[in-house]
Amino acid sequence: MILALLPAALAEGYSLDIELVRPSFSGAPPGLDAPEVQKQGAVTAGAVVQYQSNPLVLVVEGEELGSVVGNRLAVHAGASVDVNRRVALRATLPVAFSFGSELDALAADGFGAGDISAGARFELLENDLLALGAHADLYVPIARPASYLGEASLRFAPGAAFALSPGDFRVQVDASFMLRGVVPTQETLGLGQELSAAADLSYALLDGRLRPHLLALARVGLSPDVMSDSTFPVEVLGGAQVGVHKEWWIDAYGGKGLTAGYGATDARAVLAVTYQRVPEDPKPVEERAPVYQAEVSDAELDKIIAEEPEPEPEPEKPLAVVTQKEIVIRDALRFAAAKDIILPESLPTLQFVAQLMNENADIQTLIIEGHASGEGTYASNYALSVDRALAVFKFLVESGVHPSRLAIRGYGEVMPVKEGDDAANRRVVFAIARRLAVGEPNPGWATDIKLPWNGEAKTILAAPASAPAPDQPPPAPAPRPQPRGDDLDIDKSHFEEDDE
């Protein structure tokens, strides 16, 4: 579109990067960054071909004199590699051929390479509905002066991406800042720090193999001394992404600029071909069937099979076991996403833990530790870990474990067991804080209690008799004292919630 630029500036060979649609090789349409990172070893690579009509036009004192870049055919080649579940690295190299400019003396016709960019993407939050990520790119100048494919100094562009995916719809927003010093071009245009933004609306068809897109891209200069209409390009594109093979995708878009900012076009066509490979999880090795020699007859084979003993089924591992320092559960507890609601498949495990507590009365104090993954803020992860530990505490008490034997503790995200593995870090641990020594008498507990969170009366099992010490006769049972009124008051304060 129109660029207000003085001839003297062009004659001096200022280096300007006029590109508005920059591919990210993140799975998003060209011009946007996806907030998600897939998994370690995932690779995305490809090429994006663009035709641009009049992305740079010379205007002097309000009069359009002609195109500086009349037509441009540009190719961006690049690749991105996921180094782990949260971080991806990438690099891009653009090349272009400009032709058909109207101002021969100022034209940038010919072939050239643009500035190399290298950067990273970071996934901050991802679930079935929301995704949030950050990204940053460094642009290294290699373009020749006055080619309008790059600039004379390093540039740094940090940004953030957000996606909302209700069902098959997806709304995506991406924004980044171009940080650089002011690049003056005489009186009517100067480049300084800029904000680039893009928004996209898409809908999945054919199980996600076809996704129509409607996207808008814009940027605006943030330096007051260089802001003008020329620094505010806006462009709209429409098209679709098609999966032509399991690992190959084609994007095709078309559109035009809506304003007269530099880099916006009279017409733009974009075609992208992308290869995307995501490593599959290793499959378990299947047991091989017995191999028999070919000369064995069918009758002999039937006899051999009949004489083979039936394989004994492997004994099922218990849901939980008691060790010296911990009650170790076989399967991790499952909760509703971002909530303290225990899912039904985890209730048998908790019932088994309650049974172990009642069978092992020597466990005097069991600490229920809640742990969270690194998604979200520290405050929200800590609160969620405490709430989930409290939900387990309530279930065990309702299952007959005396509340005086239980404690809860929230650790949030500060004690991960596996870096980058959210599923392993979202967990509940049952740590044994105190056990009776061999022969130490069990003080026992009251069997009639009130649930601490609502005051509801409940009867639980009494503590079993303590095991005698080695070579010692079992102690005589002590008479159970009759409770007095003041004793009952003490018991109530022990189990009821504190109003303060």
Give residue-wise pLDDT tens across range 62-101.
677 788 888 999 999 999 999 998 999 999 999 999 888 8
Task: Grade residue 61 by pLDDT with cuts at 50, 70 and 90.
Answer: low
Percent of the chain past pLDDT 90, that is, above it, reads 51
Closest residue by Cα to residue 360 from 449, 461, 281: 461
Q: What is the pLDDT of residues 32-54, one digit of tens each?
A: 999 999 888 899 999 999 999 99
DSSP-derived pairing of the beta strands 189-191 and 183-185: antiparallel
pLDDT at residue number 298: 72
Write out the H or E segment, with its range, that includes residue 156: strand 155-164
CB 171 within 8 A of CB 198: no
Q: pLDDT averaged over the chain? A: 82
Q: Does the domain formed by 2-277 have CATH 2.40.160.40?
A: yes
Work out the pLDDT band at 106, boundaries 50, 70, 90: low
Cα(372)–Cα(415) distance, integer angstroms: 9
Please give the torsion angle defined by the CA atoms of residues 275, 35, 95 and 114, in that order, rounded to the nearest 10 degrees.
-150
The mean pLDDT of 351-363, rounded to a whole number, is: 93
Phi, psi of 215 (to 5 degrees): -135, 150
Residue 472 has pLDDT above 50, yes or no: no
Extents of the domains making up the chain? 2-277, 320-470+483-495
Strand partners for 241: 211, 251
pLDDT above 70 covers a percentage of the chain that reads 81
The topology under which CATH files domain 320-470+483-495 is: 60s Ribosomal Protein L30; Chain: A; (3.30.1330)
User: In this predicted model, what pLDDT tens digit does every residue of 186-237 receive, in sequence order?
Assistant: 545 567 788 999 999 999 998 788 999 999 999 988 876 655 667 788 999 9
Tell me phi and psi for residue 237, to 5 degrees: -130, 150
Predicted pLDDT of residue 348: 95
pTM: 0.55
**Domains 2-277 and 320-470+483-495 belong to one CATH topology:** no
Q: Are strands 183-185 and 130-140 parallel, antiparallel or unpaired?
A: unpaired
Q: What integer is the mean pLDDT of 107-124?
A: 89
Average confidence (pLDDT) over 307-325: 81
Token output for 252: 């095709």
